[in-house]
Copies of this chain bind each other. A is one copy, B any other.
Amino acid sequence: MQKQKLKAVVLLSGGLDSATTLYVARSQGFDLHALSFRYGQRHIHELDSAARIARAAGVMRHVVLDVNLRAFGGSALTDDIAVPKHREMAEIGAGIPVTYVPARNTVFLSLALAWAESLGATDIFIGVNALDYSGYPDCRPEFIAAFEQMANLATKMGVEGGARFRIHTPLIKLTKAQIIKTGTDLGVDFALTSSCYDPRADGRPCGACDSCELRRKGFAELGLRDPLER
């Protein structure tokens, strides 16, 4: 009889970080349950990337949930606020940019927790990164630790079952180059991913937003060509 594999819920935006995270979870032997959100993002095409990556990785199930954060406003990623372009690395690292979406990772992790508990799973993966990152507060280790603690008090599994939810952040201390190296080694097809916050009408990356800049820097450091560059 085949041994039952452990299930994990993996947050999958469709970017290269979450794609790599999905493959890390796969390499650790989990049955993959991928979760994406239609949250009002202007870069909605990332959901096509998420679907392609989920298929390529062989997930058990991929859920795309509607959570309209646009109802609340307050971000360049969901509102009619200009996405900053052509910023230097020093600028990207300094302060929290207008692309920050209020409490987004809290909302996403909460919904991942709801699914995990329904599945009887204790493992949740999220591709946050505290190094080559965009300055978002909800990407820091101290936030993740606080969320984990809260999760174990919030749930039936935590309270009655004595289960310990674990929020896995395999990329949190990696540079963008190290993430791309990790993903490449695990077989991620980066041609399927999309990182741009503000893509052109035909879906091609703008090449100038913070996310495009970080991606370019990562591939350049490795001396690799980004398959999305034409």
Contacts and interface: CB of A to CB of B under 8 A. Distances in A.
The 10 closest A-B pairs by CB, nearest first: A74-B118, A102-B117, A103-B114, A146-B150, A110-B110, A137-B159, A72-B118, A72-B115, A143-B153, A103-B113
Contacts of A67: 65-67, 111
A213 interface: no
A214 interface: no
7 contacts: A72-B119, A102-B113, A102-B115, A102-B155, A106-B150, A107-B113, A138-B154
A146 B155 CA distance: 12
A159 B68 CA distance: 24
Interface residues of A, number: 46
Interface of A: 63, 65-69, 71-74, 95-96, 100-107, 109-111, 113-115, 117-119, 137-138, 140, 142-143, 146-147, 149-151, 153-156, 158-160
Contacts of A95: 160
Given A67-B67, A103-B154, 7 more contacts: A63-B71, A65-B68, A67-B111, A72-B115, A102-B115, A107-B110, A138-B155
